[in-house]
Amino acid sequence: MIDVPDFVRRSALADGAAGQAWLDSLPDRIAALERRWNIRMGQAFPGGSEAYVAGATTSEGTEAVVKIALPGRGRSEARVLMAAAGSGYVRLIDYDEENSALLLERLGSQLNELGMPLNEQIAIICVTLREAWLAPATRTGVISAVDKAEKLAAIVDSSWAALGRPCSELAVDTALRYARLRAEAFDPTAVVLSHGDAHAWNTLAVPNAPGNFKLIDPDGLIAEPAYDLSISMREWSAELLAGDPVALGRRRAAQLAELGGADEEAIWQWGLLERVSNGLLLLQIGMDRLGRECLAVADAWAGAT
């Protein structure tokens, strides 16, 4: 029997017949990967949503990680990790396209688990991103920032009314305006291969290398550096609401611009767009407190814009 984490199972079942078939096929997939890679799979890790992730041990006794993506997922992640070749990202040991499976190096604790002050966490994310951006940005098969802006705008446009208008109309209008502005500002000569979701839960310590971190779970897109930096604008809502969310938000944008070498206003615009779209998505999946905190900050930011 394969113990599939609850959220992963729910995500699979939401895909209908294809997701159920994927769940049914997991034992055979795992057995095939154990033979191909000469590994022994362990228990699944808790958490996650779009892949079955478990520890593994190679025939040489090295600890590794196996990630088997749900149907239709995983290709962009594999392309990003291949391009990065371990620089700023978890090292990809092997990729089985038929099974949408990645064999990855084993990293340590998540950054958010280490008890560091928020400013230190942000600094570490920026340093890690700057290393990750060294990967060539010419890879095909990943979306552009134009596609991302349109996707985020579509989430805002389609879900705000359906969820009972949980944030101000001004926040929605501002987010949609910023989506247009960032799409119009797209410059293919000034882009990087972006992670797309670089937060403290996706930033892991490198074992036996104090102070070094790597990114996992990239979405993968071609975008200006400001987009990757804006993910830190989307996170840590409670800390912003504990004081003046506008002043603290502007201070965070300035810190990210300085550490990441990107335009502060672009970071602010992506950050507000990410806040509104992510807040609505959190409400959709039942994470009401986090969603409302995220949107409360967006309301304050839009009111001050």
Q: Are residues 153 and 130 in the same domain?
A: yes
pLDDT in tens, 99-122: 999 999 999 999 999 999 999 999
pLDDT in tens, 76-95: 899 999 999 999 999 999 99
Q: For residues 234 and 231, what is the distance between their CA atoms, to the nearest angstrom?
A: 5
Q: Are residues 101 and 116 in the same domain?
A: no
Confidence band (pLDDT; 50, 70, 90) for 137? confident
Matching residue, tokens 């995983």: 74
Instruction: Indicate if the pLDDT at residue 305 is higher than 90.
Output: no
Within 10 angstroms of residue 33's Cβ, the number of other Cβ atoms is 20
Is residue 158 a part of any domain in this protein? yes
Q: Are residues 73 and 220 in the same domain?
A: no
Question: The domain that contains 94 carries what CATH number?
Answer: 3.30.200.20
Q: For residues 92 and 72, what is the distance between their CA atoms, to the nearest angstrom?
A: 19
DSSP-assigned letters across all residues of 28-77: HHHHHHHHHHTEEEEEEPS--SSEEEEEEEETTS-EEEEEEEPTT-SHHH
Q: Are residues 162 and 276 in the same domain?
A: yes
Q: Please, what is the average pLDDT of the chain?
A: 95
Q: Domain end: 88, 105, 122, which one?
A: 105
Nearest Cα to 137, choosing from 90, 88, 83?
83
Q: Are residues 178 and 61 in the same domain?
A: no
Is residue 294 a part of any domain in this protein? yes
Q: Are residues 168 and 286 in the same domain?
A: yes
What is the phi/psi pair of residue 144, to 5°?
A: -105, 170
Mean pLDDT of 60-75: 91
Question: The domain that contains 271 carries what CATH number?
Answer: 3.90.1200.10
pLDDT in tens, 33-42: 999 999 999 9
Instruction: Indicate if the pLDDT at residue 224 is higher than 80.
Output: yes
Q: Containing domain of residue 75, as a range?
A: 6-105
| Core vs surface per residue 140-163: b (16+ CB within 10 A) or e | eebbbbbebbeebbebbeebbeeb
Q: Are residues 53 and 116 in the same domain?
A: no
* Number of domain units in the chain: 2
Q: Are residues 64 and 129 in the same domain?
A: no
Helix residue spans in the chain (DSSP H): 6-14, 17-37, 75-84, 118-132, 145-159, 169-184, 225-234, 237-241, 245-260, 264-284, 288-304
Is residue 216 a part of any domain in this protein? yes
Is residue 51 a part of any domain in this protein? yes
Query: Residue 244: which H helix or E strand, with range?
Result: none
Nearest Cα to 202, choosing from 279, 294, 109?
109
